[in-house]
Amino acid sequence: MISSRDVILHGEDIYHGAVKKVITTPGTGNVVPRDAEVTLGLTMNLVRKHNAEHAGTCDLEWLHEHTRVAPLVRLLCDIMPIGLQRAVSTMAAGEEAQVWIHPLMAYGSSGLVFGDDNFSESIPPYSALVYYVSLISFRCNDLTIRLGLSSTRFGKLRFEEIQEIYDNLDRAQDVLIKGNKRAAQRIWCRTIRMLEMMRIDAAKEPQQHATREKVMLDTLKKAAENAIQLGWFKLAVTFSKNVLELESDNALAHYILGRAYFALGCNSHAKRHVRRAHLHDIENNTYVEKLREIERHVTLLDDSDSEDTMEDYEELAQIIKDRTKKNSKRVLKEVSKHLQDHIDAGKRTIFIEGGFDDTILEDIYTRLIERNRGVNAVTVRERPNGLEIDIP
């Protein structure tokens, strides 16, 4: 057996020095395809450097060892931690190897556990992992998300059957409260499929269409959030994208999508969507912390896929512009009412100050003429950051 220090020093560099691999038994044939389902034999050792926050070959402290009782069967793209996924993607059938994973690549969605079940001990931060991996077999998979539904199971549903959907959602909430997230997820997936089968003409039945869209949006949000908690990252990507199709400025959906992409190793997409979540909800510190985590990760790995930040600045500018436009309508309504109150009180000289945007001032002027009981001879003089309006 090769020592972990030798794996670090002499192993094949799989990913930017953060994943190293030494083959102990060569495999046969081609390496595992990206769309494959793999069967792995795994033993995981949890180690920690005495100087944990710095890279190097200082002494290692062995913390735990765990061997899976049954082989792990999973899509390659869903293997966690991400460092193990990178290593397995270089293996051939029958290959056995030792893999060292830097703490930087030993991450998952909601924190990794050391064991096979939900009650396993959490892996502490700054811990490296050493795996003994055996790629028993793999088979190609079309990566279709299987929801346990047949395409003809429901057929077309009528709106009158929406009570069945409400019953499903209540049942999902009940099983979720009992702690069965997987069962709740299956119910939500089934409900989403039913809503997809419910065809409503928006022009003829706008109220029914609006109800269906609202129920769909609420269900997608719950399904996306639960999927990321379960570690079903591709499903989380699908559902959060669907949420954004219905509600493009939903900060939580952007955040879930970013987390899912980060767990799948798509750092550029992850950074982009978590930043969007932050821009849409600037006061949420969770989004800021996750964004910094991704940026540290990208910087340390010198990831060539990271995008130019100019696109982010342009998006920020557009978000601010849209927000200002939305606020301006409210300001216009309030200021116009205030002006009308002044006019009704007999005042004939009115000052509008406060640094309003020129567009808002023009709208106020236009609205004032329209509402001033037929008076159209209004004198307007510019003042610093505002207008002075004289009404005859």
Q: How many domains does the chain have?
A: 4
Cβ proximity of 222 and 210 under 8 Å = no
pLDDT at position 281: 82
Q: Give yes or no: residues 133 and 102 share one domain.
A: yes
Distances (CA, A) of 389 to 64, 353, 356, 364, 378: 78, 11, 15, 11, 7
For 29-38, write each residue's pLDDT tens digit. 888 887 788 8
Closest CA relative to residue 28, chosen from 74, 72, 91:
91
The answer to whether residues 193 and 134 belong to one domain is: no
Of 100, 115, 141, which residue is a domain's last? 141
Q: Is the pLDDT of residue 350 over 80?
A: no
Residues 264 and 347 in one domain: no
Is the domain of 99 the same as that of 168?
Answer: no
- Does 158 or 208 have the greater pLDDT score? 208
pLDDT over 90 for what percent of the chain?
A: 11
- Its pTM stands at 0.45
Instruction: Please check whether residues 18 and 109 belong to one and the same domain.
Output: yes
Q: 164 and 133, same structural domain?
A: no
User: Is the domain of 54 the same as that of 10?
Assistant: yes
For 93-105, what is each residue's pLDDT tens digit?
899 999 988 876 7
- Domain extent at residue 344: 326-390
Do 126 and 178 lie in one domain? The reply is: no
For residues 291 and 345, membership in a common domain is answered with: no
Task: Identify the CA nearest to 249 among candidates 331, 327, 316, 332.
Answer: 316
Q: What confidence tier does 308 reach under pLDDT thresholds 50, 70, 90? A: very low
Quickly state the pLDDT bin for 112 (edges 50, 70, 90).
low
Mean pLDDT taken over the chain: 74
Supply the CATH number for residue 49's domain.
3.10.50.40
User: pLDDT band at 282, cuts 50/70/90?
Assistant: confident
Q: What is the pLDDT of residue 124?
A: 66
Above 60 in pLDDT, residue 311?
Answer: no
Least confident segment among 47-56, 177-186, 213-222, 380-389: 47-56
Query: When comparing pLDDT for 195 and 107, which is higher?
Result: 195
| Shared-domain flag, residues 8 and 137 | yes
Pair (284, 236) in one structural domain: no
Residue 46 in any domain: the answer is: yes
Query: 267, 301, 335 — which closes off a domain?
Result: 301
- Same-domain pairing of 128 and 185: no
